[in-house]
Homo-oligomer: A and B are copies of this chain.
């Protein structure tokens, strides 16, 4: 039997699975190109030295200490397909060795952006409430049903956080030719202008926007940074659409701002998930509810496998990864997402 020349890849992708993130055709390519050794976070350090020494890629985000990392002599890239960066490995040591740590969360950008636009249109035009009224026999016909209806075309739109999700949102909004303001303290102004948007302060975004989209990841600096004052600063009747993580807002303050009628809101994320059966937001009018389902589409998960295969191919040829997003020294310790439990 000929020697197996395929590069060795460790697979410990929990909470994901290879079945979830690789479509059948991609799965076949994976096994064709690579020798996949499936393991678990717990079992990994116990693998033989010879095995660990050959590993070129890891698919997953296993906890690693300095010793185990040192045994992974040939390691080039860790593909964190869970996509939230936990503080569970010696990143500095990895970066010093030139080991890339990349994430695949970009797959969620398109589905979340699309549903985010759907939320904005639903709030602007009362799509969901009009359907409910119609079913209850209390619908209003014609213009009578349009108090508060607003066009998105040419509207003032604010985006907080212009990562993959914010950019995908700007793209689906393109057909509406909005006046786009972006607040993102981790980007240079020229990067924002390159997206046909105006760099703005948080205050400017809140004060001027008809719709505010929050697409920023949670970091050590922005926990609950949107609170009562932020919502009070928004335009009367504006929409607040939360797409990234609940921890960036003071959720009770948001509910209060909606309950007062000052703004309306939509959210795909909540302080606890699942949410308690008696949580007041369940009965709050003007708040469009979505049970953290904006990203979790089959086509999103299988795109992860495609991205991993593309970058592994580049790395195999001695090139740097280009498709997945790289964890950076400067920021890896500042991410504060809670780990994903369910897909």
Interface residues on chain A, size class: 35 or more
Nearest CB in chain B: distance from A151 CB, A: 6
Would you call A319 an interface residue if the criterion is a C-beta within 8 Å of the partner chain's C-beta atoms?
yes
Would you call A195 an interface residue if the criterion is a C-beta within 8 Å of the partner chain's C-beta atoms?
no
Please report the C-alpha to C-alpha distance between residue A132 and residue B144 in the assembled complex, in whole angstroms. Answer: 23
Q: Which chain B positions have C-beta within 8 A of A151?
A: 110-111, 114, 297, 299
Would you call A46 an interface residue if the criterion is a C-beta within 8 Å of the partner chain's C-beta atoms?
no
Please report the C-alpha to C-alpha distance between residue A8 and residue B142 in the assembled complex, in whole angstroms. Answer: 33
Quick one: given A98-B329, A153-B110, A175-B173, are A289 and B131 in contact (CB under 8 Å)?
yes
Interface members, chain A 142-173 (any B CB < 8 Å): 142-146, 149-153, 171-173
Binds B, one of A61-69, A119-127, A205-213, A226-234: A119-127
| Binary per-residue interface labels of chain A (299-338) against chain B in the complex, 1 for a CB within 8 Å, 0 otherwise | 1000000110011011001111011000011110000000
Query: A137–B282 contact, CB under 8 A?
Result: yes
Quick one: given A131-B128, A307-B190, are A141 and B274 in contact (CB under 8 Å)?
yes
Q: Which chain B positions have C-beta within 8 A of A119?
A: 127
Would you call A40 an interface residue if the criterion is a C-beta within 8 Å of the partner chain's C-beta atoms?
no
Interface on A for B, CB 8 Å cutoff? 92, 95-98, 110-111, 114-115, 117-119, 121-122, 124-125, 127-128, 130-135, 137, 139-146, 149-153, 171-176, 185-191, 273-274, 277, 282-283, 288-294, 296-299, 306-307, 310-311, 313-314, 317-320, 322-323, 328-331, 342-343
Q: Which of A151, A185, A343 is packed against the most chain B CB atoms within 10 Å? A: A151
Q: Which residue of B lies closest to A287 (CB)?
A: B131
Query: B277–A137 contact, CB under 8 A?
Result: yes
Please report the C-alpha to C-alpha distance between residue A329 and residue B315 in the assembled complex, in whole angstroms. Answer: 12
Query: A143–B343 contact, CB under 8 A?
Result: yes
Query: B342–A141 contact, CB under 8 A?
Result: yes
Please report the C-alpha to C-alpha distance between residue A274 and residue B144 in the assembled complex, in whole angstroms. Answer: 12
Quick one: given A98-B329, A153-B110, A153-B114, are A127 and B188 in contact (CB under 8 Å)?
no
Q: Which chain B positions have C-beta within 8 A of A131?
A: 128, 288-290
Query: A118–B114 contact, CB under 8 A?
Result: no
